[in-house]
């Protein structure tokens, strides 16, 4: 779940963490007339796909939607590196949801505020109008393709404004047309009623997986606007794990403690690769004798039903390598790893896990370069025609559960590779690993780290 809370800097602001228990849901559908601020409804366009790993978008002759997806992936990896450095233990977040909520807010930013946000989000190379149209095509393509009983990814956006507050027509139209963000007026002075209204909407969009998202007393008379994004994900594995082959197995945590956790087992042909962090060492494509050092990183991609979504597992060989990977992780490296995968028969051992993470993003986003948006000098005049708004905080919470059937809440990608002259490689996730949910076209949607699969946080 993703919230952006807008402040009026001149007024007293009370900021509290917003908590929830599940990752949000579903594409914004029809609303009653009283809910609508925008003249256009958000209906998915026709999509034309091409190839196993690429896609073309109808109405995207310049390839801007694909470029937006690529830049979202860069932001995802950069944000992961920041979060990983500040987070102990397990970690999970949905960068696609964060990008979406901030993109809507960015639609109202001007001047240096816009420039800083655009730099962090990798938006500056796009004219604003083109950006939002292209971002909208990415989201609509994603949700229209992933609308199956065995693989679903839904997105909902909503803007909540103070009753009587001015909102620029251009801003309303942009977020409505591109992001399907319906708007609703509330009286934030009645904190309890406003909170109940938003929480009820979230519960509906998440199929009751997130309840009481906003705790009491967070909203008040100093809150002119809240921008809310909700994601929901549920998908079956293309090749499900047999529960009869799940049994307790050892796992060494990040603290080097040996624990026992339910672990799934399967042998199959998946996309897989082995890689070194030191470029002078031979890549996985080279035939290596058994006495050569083991690779620094194994990468496994496990597809979900339909083949569009997958979970990618990045398994460093030890704790020291995990730290190296996270410190040096960059978008180009991830892209090279994914590009180096090939179909191999692999013996896989993956622990079942259920993670929930919650973040207040103000500090990290400020460190990344968009601090002005959170300051009294912010310029969001594109929202209300005045320079009296700033972002109070960006609250994010995400959850993912992975089991024999598949994943719910969010997902990651798993890749498999084998050198054919050797025995089947063993991908045994019995130590901390990274994972990501990846769409063949939209790129990285969620990322995380499992340090202890027996813990939920």
**CATH number for the domain that contains residue 64:** 3.30.497.10
Residues 268-284 have a mean pLDDT of 76
Asked, for residue 316, whether it belongs to a domain, the answer is: yes
**Residue closest to 78 by CA, chosen among 334, 375, 267, 344:** 334
Listing DSSP states for 435-446 in one string gives EEEEETTTEEEE
Alpha-helical regions (H) of 49-190: 64-86, 95-106, 111-121, 128-145, 169-179
Looking at the structure, tell me whether residues 186 and 225 fall in a common domain.
yes
Domain count, the chain: 2
**58 band by pLDDT with thresholds 50, 70 and 90:** low
Looking at the structure, tell me whether residues 25 and 44 fall in a common domain.
yes
Looking at the structure, tell me whether residues 134 and 197 fall in a common domain.
yes
**Rounded CA gap, 427 and 411, in Å?**
19
Looking at the structure, tell me whether residues 394 and 333 fall in a common domain.
no
Instruction: Provide the domain limits for residue 425.
Output: 243-353+407-450
Give the domain CATH number at 415. 2.30.39.10
Looking at the structure, tell me whether residues 44 and 180 fall in a common domain.
yes
Looking at the structure, tell me whether residues 216 and 251 fall in a common domain.
no
Question: 131 or 218: which carries more pLDDT confidence?
Answer: 131
* Cβ contact 356:457 at 8 Å: yes
Asked, for residue 303, whether it belongs to a domain, the answer is: yes
Segment holding 333, helix H or strand E: helix 331-339
Asked, for residue 456, whether it belongs to a domain, the answer is: no
pLDDT tens digits for 8-32?
543 333 333 333 333 333 333 332 2
Looking at the structure, tell me whether residues 251 and 386 fall in a common domain.
no
Q: Which span out of 283-292, 313-322, 423-432 was modeled with the highest average pLDDT?
A: 313-322
Looking at the structure, tell me whether residues 70 and 81 fall in a common domain.
yes
**Residue closest to 265 by CA, chosen among 179, 348, 351, 373:** 348
pTM above 0.85, yes or no: no
- Residue 371 gets the label, from left (phi > 0), alpha (psi -120 to 50) or beta, of alpha
**Domain boundary at 362, 378, 400, which?**
400
Longest dimension (CA), the chain: 73
pLDDT score at 20: 33
pLDDT score at 165: 87
Residues 149-168 have a mean pLDDT of 90
pLDDT score of 71 more than 60:
yes
Question: 54 or 96: which carries more pLDDT confidence?
Answer: 96
Asked, for residue 51, whether it belongs to a domain, the answer is: yes
**Rounded CA gap, 367 and 26, in Å?**
31
Q: How far is CA 445 from CA 4, 17, 30, 434, in A?
A: 19, 23, 25, 14
Looking at the structure, tell me whether residues 42 and 101 fall in a common domain.
yes
Q: Which span out of 39-48, 68-77, 214-223 was modeled with the highest average pLDDT?
A: 68-77
pLDDT score at 160: 87
pLDDT score of 243 more than 90:
yes
Looking at the structure, tell me whether residues 274 and 419 fall in a common domain.
yes
Asked, for residue 173, whether it belongs to a domain, the answer is: yes
Looking at the structure, tell me whether residues 126 and 211 fall in a common domain.
yes
Asked, for residue 349, whether it belongs to a domain, the answer is: yes
Q: What distance, in Å, lies between the first and last C-alpha atoms of the chain? A: 16
Q: Which residue has the tokens 């938006």?
A: 123
Looking at the structure, tell me whether residues 59 and 40 fall in a common domain.
yes
pLDDT score at 359: 85
């Amino acid at each position: 779940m993703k919230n952006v809370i807008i402040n009026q800097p001149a007024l007293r602001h009370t900021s509290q963490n917003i908590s929830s228990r599940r990752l949000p849901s579903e594409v914004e559908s029809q609303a009653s007339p009283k809910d609508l601020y925008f003249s256009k409804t958000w209906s998915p366009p026709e999509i034309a796909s091409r190839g196993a790993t690429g896609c073309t978008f109808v109405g995207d002759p310049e390839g801007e939607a694909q470029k937006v997806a690529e830049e979202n992936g860069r932001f995802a990896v950069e944000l992961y590196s920041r979060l990983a450095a500040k987070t102990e233990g397990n970690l999970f977040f949905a960068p696609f949801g964060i990008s979406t909520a901030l993109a809507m807010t960015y639609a109202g930013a001007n001047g240096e505020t816009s420039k800083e946000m655009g730099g962090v989000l990798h938006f500056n190379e796009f004219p604003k109008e083109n950006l939002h149209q292209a971002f909208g095509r990415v989201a609509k393509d994603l949700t229209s393709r992933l609308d199956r009983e065995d693989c679903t990814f839904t997105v909902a956006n909503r803007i909540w404004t103070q009753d009587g507050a001015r909102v620029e027509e251009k801003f309303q139209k942009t977020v409505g047309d591109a992001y399907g963000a319906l708007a609703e007026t509330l009286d934030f002075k009645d904190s309890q009623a406003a909170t109940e209204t938003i929480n009820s909407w979230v519960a509906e969009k998440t199929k009751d997986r997130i309840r009481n998202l906003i705790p009491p007393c967070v909203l008040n008379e100093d809150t002119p606007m809240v921008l809310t994004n909700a994601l929901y994900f549920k998908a079956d594995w293309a090749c499900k794990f047999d529960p009869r082959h799940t049994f307790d197995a050892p796992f060494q945590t990040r603290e080097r403690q040996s624990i026992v956790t339910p672990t799934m087992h399967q042998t199959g042909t998946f996309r897989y690769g082995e890689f070194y962090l030191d470029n002078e060492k031979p890549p996985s494509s080279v035939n290596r004798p058994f006495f050569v050092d083991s690779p620094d990183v194994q990468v496994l991609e496990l597809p979900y039903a339909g083949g569009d979504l997958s979970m990618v597992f990045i398994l460093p060989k030890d704790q020291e390598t995990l730290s190296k990977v996270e410190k040096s992780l960059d978008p180009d490296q991830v892209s090279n790893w994914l590009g180096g995968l090939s179909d191999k028969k692999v013996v896989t051992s993956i622990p079942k896990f259920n993670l929930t993470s919650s973040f207040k993003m103000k500090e990290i986003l400020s460190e990344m370069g968009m601090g002005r948006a959170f300051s009294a000098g912010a310029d969001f005049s594109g929202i209300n025609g005045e320079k009296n708004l700033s972002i109070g905080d960006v609250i994010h919470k995400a959850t993912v559960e992975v089991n024999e059937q598949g994943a719910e809440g969010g997902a990651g990608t798993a890749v498999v590779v084998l050198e054919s002259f050797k025995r089947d490689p063993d991908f045994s996730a019995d130590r901390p690993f990274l994972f990501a949910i990846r769409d063949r076209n939209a790129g990285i949607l969620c990322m995380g780290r499992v340090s202890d699969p027996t813990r939920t946080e």
